[in-house]
Amino acid sequence: MMTLMMTFSLKVRGLSKAWSAHKILDNISFEQPQGSIWGIAGENGAGKSTLLKILASVLARDSGDVVFETDSFSVSLDDLNSWRQLIAYVPQELALDDRLTVRETLLFWTAARGISASEGKEQIRLAAADPLIADFLEKPIRECSGGMARRVSLIVGLLGDPQLILLDEPFAGADDHSQELMIERLNLLRSGGKTILLAAHEGELLKKLSDQILYLHDAKVRETLLNGE
Amino acid sequence: MKKKLSHLLSIMRKSQRAFRALMRLELRAARTALLLTLTASIVLSVLLVNFAREDKKVEAEKLPVLSVAGSIVDEDDSALGQILAAYLEDLRYISAVYYDTMDQALERLEADETIVILRLPPTLFEETRTGSQREPVEMWLNPRKPAESGQASLLVRQYASVLDYLYGTIFGYQKVYVELGGDENDSWNEATRHSMNVLVMYFGRYRYAETGDFHPYNVLLHTYSAFLIVFALLPAMGVLAGTSRLAGTSYEDRLLLSSGPASMMAARLASGLLWWLVLLVPLLLALKISGLLAGVFPVAAILLAAYFTTALIMLALGRIKVPGISIMLTGWLTFLIMIVLGGVIYPTSIFPEWLNRGAAFTPIYPMMQFLYNSLYQQGTAGASDLLSALWPLLPAAVIAVIFGRRRV
């Protein structure tokens, strides 16, 4: 009954990807409702990062359809420009320029995203007050700890108010404090109606955070565990 | 329609913002290196200006002992007289050539203004066509200056011997051309063209030679051209390094999602352009100041085309999925092949014939030729030469669009 009332936002149907003859993803399908956090679990090489990269539109799929739908709009992965306006992707690697300070990093990625100067300033102002990074705004990235850099990476990904947030191992190398802050932020985003899909190795953390977990094994979704089951 | 246009404009604005952000970052990273390079480039340019001035001074000091003026009385009034006058005017030991009537020429000779009069008979051109000489070219010498007159007559006799030899060659050539099945009228055109080329070869002149014909070789001008080309191509190697460093990384994924592939490519090319400006603008100004180049813009356009051609190829090369060090080695090898076959290190005429012919189809070859000719003619190479030297840009752009773009 509950499922029938849900508004699905991310719809993945028949998604497949192979490297030569080796299948990475084989006919993956799922529908994730808006305002939810779903985790992707699986062993190394199970295809978690590949799935996220395809959804982030940085890796081509072999087949399958991906659509993001709300009551007011529908965007397909094939419409790259619109899709990329819609999503945030935080890759497994930090992917930050370590010569810049945290503030300069935010300024750069705001501008690189094509956000106007006035809007960018407002976003920087909000980000500067964000408890995730407020304490070390003037610190160069190269001097940040692993946890601090992870938090910056997350904030960079969230610039531009994305609807679908794709996180690849967002807690890797983060200390407990950083993890807590990040989890708190993700919960806040969920309650704000954002759709979040994340891959992580930290099983307990994933269970605690996710509404549902997709377990990838042998290129297929083997189990879909509802949180708490 | 209006909605689509507005959407397109919005995407363009965003791309511009992204491009500016990427450029700022590139500038910031390369600031110190750019300043150091600019300083080195300025020092090199100052040295070049001084060297060119010194060279001119030495040349000026090497003025010939003999310096004479003469008159041409062209009763034939054909192209031959004009060609002769134009040629003589450029000889260093001839201070002035007057195009006179016989009376004017004799007055000058009497007043010791000239030491020689050359009278071209009315039938000269016709006689050169038939090969039967009836009326000679007359030479009047100044009796009051026997030493100079003697030297001038010696030179004229030397040229006359050459021309006499040429007559034989040219008529032989024309006859063979007809025998080989060529048209009688065409044979004269071919014979005339051939004779002009041979004449140019003897007199060491470029003016009448067509593209691909004999060019006098000047080591210094070749060196200048080679330096300019190498400096124009070096920033393209930076484009390769930047592309291969980021290709396929998560950082590039982020850039792709934020700014799109076009802004990324444009920013990379523009940052190379910045290096191009720093390396070449002082040198081009130095060449202009030192009088080696009359017009800088055509040369700058060619050097810019050389940069973009190579940079576009490097954009594609940088995306090959092999380790970075292998890509850089491949890039430098490509660079080396391009400059060797382009005739930058040595003139391609020293290659075997098949390689010499093949080299003409490589991208840097027409650009090097244009540069050398521009320097040789002090920047007066024509617009058609400029356009024909730009062809490599088109295939390079196609290669970059197909292979150099970050794909999904």
Query: Which chain A residues are closer than 8 Å to B250 by Cβ?
Result: 91-95
Residues of B with a Cβ under 8 Å from any A Cβ are: 11, 13-15, 17-18, 20-22, 24-25, 28-29, 249-251, 253-260, 407-408
A100 to chain B, closest Cα gap in Å = 9
Q: What is the pLDDT of residue B6?
A: 81
Answer yes or no: do A80 and B256 touch at CB < 8 A.
no
Query: Which chain B residues are closer than 8 Å to A156 by Cβ?
Result: 254
Q: What angle do CA A73, A190, A164 make, to 5 degrees?
A: 40
CATH number of B68-203: 3.40.1710
Answer yes or no: do B254 and A57 touch at CB < 8 A.
no
Residue showing tokens 């791309």: B15
* Better-scored residue on pLDDT, B371 or B8: B371
B25: amino acid identity, one letter: L
Q: What is the pLDDT of residue B398?
A: 95
- Is the confidence at residue B15, as pLDDT, over 90? no
Q: What is the pLDDT of residue B206?
A: 38
Please report the domains of chain A, with CATH numbers, ordered by start residue.
Answer: 2-226 (3.40.50.300)
Q: Picking from A79-88, B230-239, B377-386, which range would have the lowest pLDDT averaged per residue?
A: B377-386
What is the model's pTM? 0.73
Q: Testing the interface with A: which of B254, B259, B407 to mutate, by most A Cβ within 10 A?
A: B254
Q: What is the pLDDT of residue B309?
A: 96
Answer yes or no: do B257 and A80 touch at CB < 8 A.
no
Instruction: Break chain B into its structural domains and give their ranges.
Output: 68-203, 217-403
Answer yes or no: do A111 and B18 touch at CB < 8 A.
yes
pLDDT interval class at B59 (50, 70, 90):
low
Question: Tens digit of pLDDT for each residue in A117-161?
Answer: 888 888 888 888 888 999 899 999 999 999 999 999 999 999 888
Most confident option among B18-22, B104-108, B110-114, B226-230: B226-230
Question: Tens digit of pLDDT for each residue in B104-119?
Answer: 998 988 888 888 888 8
What is the Cα–Cα distance from B59 to B46, expressed in whole angstroms?
Answer: 20
Please count the other Cβ atoms lying within 10 Å of the Cβ belonging to residue B67. Answer: 12
Q: What is the pLDDT of residue B202?
A: 55
Answer yes or no: do A112 and B253 touch at CB < 8 A.
no
H or E stretch at A196 = strand A195-199
Q: What percent of chain A has pLDDT over 70?
A: 95
Q: Which is it for the CA torsion B172, B177, B179, B183, positive or negative?
A: negative
Q: What is the pLDDT of residue B310?
A: 97
Query: Which chain B residues are closer than 8 Å to A109 by Cβ?
Result: 254, 258
Q: Which of B116, B120, B117 is nearest to B150 (CA)?
A: B116
Tell me which DSSP letter residue A45 carries: T
* Better-scored residue on pLDDT, B399 or B193: B399
Mean pLDDT of B278-290: 92
Q: Picking from A1-5, A170-174, B49-53, B394-398, which range would have the lowest pLDDT averaged per residue?
A: A1-5
Answer yes or no: do B258 and A81 touch at CB < 8 A.
no
ipTM of this predicted structure: 0.90
Mean pLDDT of B279-287: 93
pLDDT interval class at B349 (50, 70, 90):
confident
Most confident option among B19-33, B197-211, B213-227: B19-33
Q: Which is it for the CA torsion B311, B258, A96, A126, positive or negative?
A: positive
Rg of chain B on CA atoms, in Å: 29
Mean pLDDT of B25-33: 89
Question: Tens digit of pLDDT for each residue in B177-199?
Answer: 777 777 777 776 776 666 666 66
Tell me which DSSP letter residue B350 carries: G
Backbone angles phi, psi at B78, to 5 degrees: -115, 180
Residue B247: closest C-alpha in chain A? A58
**Collapsing DSSP states into helix, strand and coil, what is residue A22?**
strand
Q: Picking from B180-184, B322-326, B400-404, which range would have the lowest pLDDT averaged per residue?
A: B180-184
**Collapsing DSSP states into helix, strand and coil, what is residue B309?**
helix
What is the Cα–Cα distance from B100 to B391, expressed in whole angstroms?
Answer: 47
Q: Picking from A164-173, B71-80, B214-223, which range would have the lowest pLDDT averaged per residue?
A: B214-223
* Better-scored residue on pLDDT, B23 or B90: B23
Residues of A with a Cβ under 8 Å from any B Cβ are: 53, 56-60, 80-81, 84, 87, 89, 91-97, 99, 108-109, 111-116, 156
Residue A88: closest C-alpha in chain B? B257
Question: Tens digit of pLDDT for each residue in A178-221?
Answer: 999 999 999 999 999 999 999 988 888 888 899 999 999 888 98
Q: What is the pLDDT of residue B373?
A: 85
B4 to chain A, closest Cα gap in Å = 13
- A91: nearest CB among B18, B253, B407: B253
Residue B29: closest C-alpha in chain A? A99
Answer yes or no: do B408 and A108 touch at CB < 8 A.
no
Answer yes or no: do A115 and B253 touch at CB < 8 A.
no
| β-bridge pairing A87-90 and A74-76 | unpaired
Mean pLDDT of B28-35: 90
B253 to chain A, closest Cα gap in Å = 6
**Collapsing DSSP states into helix, strand and coil, what is residue B62?**
coil
- Is the confidence at residue B63, as pLDDT, over 70? no
Mean pLDDT of A47-55: 95
Answer yes or no: do A111 and B20 touch at CB < 8 A.
yes
- A111: nearest CB among B17, B29, B257: B17
- B408: nearest CB among A57, A89, A114: A57
pLDDT interval class at B128 (50, 70, 90):
low
Q: What percent of chain B has pLDDT over 70?
A: 81
Query: Which chain B residues are closer than 8 Å to A96 by Cβ?
Result: 251
Mean pLDDT of A157-178: 91
Answer yes or no: do B21 and A111 touch at CB < 8 A.
yes
- A56: nearest CB among B22, B25, B253: B253
Mean pLDDT of B147-162: 71
B32 to chain A, closest Cα gap in Å = 14
Q: What is the pLDDT of residue B200?
A: 58
